[in-house]
Amino acid sequence: MFRVVECGDIVPHRHGVYTSFPSIARDPYTDDVLILFRQAIYHEADPRPAMRAHGLEGCLYVTRLLPDLKSFSMPKMVLHYKNFEPGLIDGTLTTIGDRLLLLVRRYPTEPSVFYTSGNTLSQLDPLTLFPAEKMIKGGAQWGRAIELKESGRLLQVFYGGERAFLEQHYLDKPIPPHYTRPSLFYSDDKGHTWHFLNWISPMFMDEVVTANETALIEEDGVLYVLMRTAKDPKGRLYFSKSQDGGLSWEPPRHSGLRGQAPVFYKMPDGKILLCFRGYLPESDETGGTMSLCRFFPDTESWSEPVVVEPYFGNHYDGGYGDMIWVPEKQQLLMAYYVSNDPETRNPWLRYAWVEIDR
C-alpha cells in the first residue's frame, strides 16, 4: 500500500538546537506547499522543566517546497518568541478554503492559545486569544482544523489541564493531578470567532487518567477521533466516534495501535491516512518510528502500520509529523522530526516521499 521513495533533511541537525512540531498546508494564494515548524535553543545544563521538554526561546518558521519538488526554501521566521514569553511556543497551520488558519500555543508558565487567519502568510489578521482559555487552563491545540462537508462548520480539537473547570462542577469527585481530556470548539464564520461545543472523552476513561493529542476526521457525516492516552502503561491510542456533529461521543476504546501524536489526513480520492509516533520493537523508552497507515471508516479498522523512518534518540524527541498529497509528483509528502542521540536531545526536521497504491 505504501512505498517510501526517499527521505532527507528539511532542516539539518545543529548542536544546541531543538527543531520540532511540523505542520503542512497549501498557501491558497500561491499554491505553495508550506511547512511550519518550531525551532528552539536546548541547553543540557539548564534545569528548567520547560528546557528539559522541548527547549526554550522557540520561534516559528516556515519553509516552502520549491518548484523542483526536491528541495525547500530557506526557512523564514513567522513569529518570534519574545512576543510569547517565556518563549516556548508551537503552532499548527490549516488551509480552509481561500484562507490559512494559524494557531499558536504559548506555555508553560502563562499557557494560552492564539489564532489568526488570512489569505496568505503575509496577510494574517492580528493575533486573537482563543476562547478556550476562558475555560481550559493550559490548553493546547492539536492537528489541523477540519471543515464539515454539509454545514461548512469548522472544528478544532484542544486538550488541556482544565482542573479549574472540573473542580467547579465536580466537587464530589476526586480529580487526579494533571488531568486532561480533549474538547471540541467550532466556528461558523470561517475561523473568525470560536465557541466551545463539547468534551470528546468522558470524565474518566477506563485505565486512563488523561487524554492528550487527539486527531479528528469526518467521513459521511460521522466524526472519528484517535486519542493519545498519556497514562496508559501500554501506550495505546484510543478510538471514538460521534454521529451528531460532536454533541455526543461513544465511550473510547482501544484502537489496536500503540503510539502518540496521531494525525489524520484525507486524500483527494477520499482515502483517510494516519501518521503517528510509534515504538521500536525492542524498546519503549529509546528511539521510535514515524509510522503511517490507512483508516477504514466502514469497518473502523486500520491497515498494518508502515515504518516510514525509525530514529534512535530519546523517544519523545521525534515522530510528530504531518503530510500532504502533492499531485505534481503523485506522491505523499511527509514532514517529521527525529533524533539519534538520547543524551544531546537536538532533533532536526526530515521529509519523506511516499508512493501510495491507488
Per the structure, the complete domain to which residue 67 belongs is given by 2-356
**How do residues 217-235 score in pLDDT, each as one tens digit?**
999 999 999 998 867 778 8
CATH number at residue 216: 2.120.10.10
- What 8-state DSSP symbol labels residue 205? B
d(CA 130, CA 139): 10
pLDDT-based confidence at 199, cuts 50/70/90? confident
- The yes-or-no verdict on residue 179 having pLDDT over 80 is no
> What sign does the dihedral 250-255-261-264 (CA atoms) show?
negative
User: Which amino acid, residue 206?
Assistant: D
CA separation for the pair 145, 230 (Å, rounded): 22
282, pLDDT greater than 70: yes
pLDDT digits (tens, 9 = 90+) for 37-91: 999 988 877 777 667 778 888 899 999 999 999 999 999 999 887 766 656 688 9
CB burial of residue 284 (10 Å; 0-12, 13-18, 19+): middle
Assign 210 to helix, strand or coil.
coil
Q: What's the rounded Cα separation, in Å, for the pair 291 and 118?
A: 32
| Residue 322, CA distances (Å) to 25, 244, 270 in order | 9, 27, 17
Mean pLDDT of the chain: 87
Q: What is the pLDDT of residue 336?
A: 98
Residues in the chain: 358
Q: Amino acid identity of 77?
A: M
pTM of whole model > 0.75? yes
Per the structure, the count of domains in the chain is: 1
| Residue 178 banded pLDDT, cuts 50, 70, 90 | low
Here the cell at position 7 is 527521505
- So what's the pLDDT on residue 252? 87
What is the pLDDT confidence band of residue 273, given thresholds at 50, 70 and 90?
very high
